[in-house]
Copies of this chain bind each other. A is one copy, B any other.
């Protein structure tokens, strides 16, 4: 697809190749890894950790990249902005996101650190523990934000992880300003509770003043407001943000607006194999529904369906065309056909 066609969503994020390997809990303990979290690591630590990991499988990842692949898999029109290096892993990332049907035209860095990678350890309980070497992501800057792309997309979707590399937040702010100037919506994922810890003050300001649609899991929203129960977090966020989707793993999600809090069930699946990408794909389903003007709870339901697919196999992007999955789900014929309500 061409980036100058009208878009449903443009995603901006850290462009990362995932390296997935199985590990047991002892391995996490021995190498001082925080289970379930995303930890930033430098080149040296990445090399050291890789050298002790088991055989890996490489596949394209990155939170917003996964979300955009999911939106395309649902039949939505999407573009992605993120920075790779002109190396083999950068070619892999570029190939995969384009092959998924997402426009991707950010020029690769021709010098500096290599394409980012995330060393992901999957424990027998299907939890993923992520260790990210940001590599070329540190080169993403406001010059990579194309006003035509942002202005042409119904929603600009940003991952909180963008706050980690030094110049990406400028890209993030530029994109949000351009989206609002064009009468578009801005969505943010809080990404990770430790990421919220690192950037809480700025994230609070973003949510209050620049974000229309917020995605967070329980740990992230509790960390954002420094409260210890979900009701307090819901009470806070509904006064600040137009629309919030709070994901709760097996308990489903809560879709929060000023006047309503709607619980959405998780989609039942036979066996959870790898939770990598669950939140990213929830956002795919939700935003696909949102850009088709479906009611908020129905957006949450599409999120549940997309998330269920990705956790039932190894890897963070859909293995089945989500469009076909929707068509087979009772009550979703309208969403699958892509007709706005």
- Pairwise interchain contact A58-B58, C-beta atoms closer than 8 A: yes
- Chain A, residues 13-30, CB within 8 Å of chain B (1/0): the string is 000000001100000000
A86-94, A125-133, A215-223: which lies at the interface: A86-94
A96 within 8 A of B: yes
Contact size range, A? 20 to 34
A301 within 8 A of B: no
A3 within 8 A of B: no
Q: Which of B56, B59, B69, B87 contacts A96 (CB 8 A)?
A: B56
Bound form: Cα–Cα A88–B17 in Å: 12
SS class, residues of chain A in contact with chain B: mixed
Bound form: Cα–Cα A22–B60 in Å: 15
Q: Which residues of A contact B (CB under 8 A)?
A: 21-22, 50-51, 53-60, 69, 87-89, 92, 95-97, 99-100, 114, 314-315, 317, 319
User: Distance (Å) between the CB of A62 and the closest chain B CB?
Assistant: 13
List residues of chain B with CB within 8 A of the CB of A96.
Answer: 55-56
- Pairwise interchain contact B317-A55, C-beta atoms closer than 8 A: yes
- Pairwise interchain contact B54-A99, C-beta atoms closer than 8 A: yes
List residues of chain B with CB within 8 A of the CB of A92.
Answer: 56, 58
